[in-house]
Amino acid sequence: MATLNLSRTERLLIAANSDNKGFIKRYSGLILNVIQKQPTVAKVKNVKCFRISVYEKYISKRLGIPIGARKNKKIEIPNRILKSEVNIIRYLRGLYEAEGSFCVHKATSTYKFLFF
């Protein structure tokens, strides 16, 4: 699971489990391709976490992601994503990786698909 945060300092920050080397490599490459800047990848002390970050003025506007806490914000999916089935699948995969959870309780045959 990963989290995505845009702070008021115009920094894109992605935190991820350090066991998932493929995730770290994939998202570092995406940042380089999209933003044209080499992201900083740093291990967090005493926990299984890596942080991938990049600073850029107006990055939130460029990516269409609001700054600050998402708690009370309405976030819309950009039309360029909705126009393509491939992009919708990619969007849902990213959303699930960042905010999703799938639980199975065999005793009751209960399956839960959640977003936080």
Taking the chain (116 residues) in runs of 10, the rounded mean pLDDT of each run is 59 84 89 91 91 87 75 81 94 82 85 74
Would you state the CATH architecture of domain 1-68? 2-Layer Sandwich (3.30)
Q: Please report the pLDDT score of residue 106 as a whole number.
A: 86
At residue 107, the pLDDT reads: 87
Question: What pLDDT score was predicted for residue 2?
Answer: 53
Q: Which residues, 6+ apart, have CB-to-CB distance to 15 below 8 Å?
A: 2, 3, 5, 44, 49, 50, 51, 52
- Domain residue extents for the chain: 1-68, 76-116
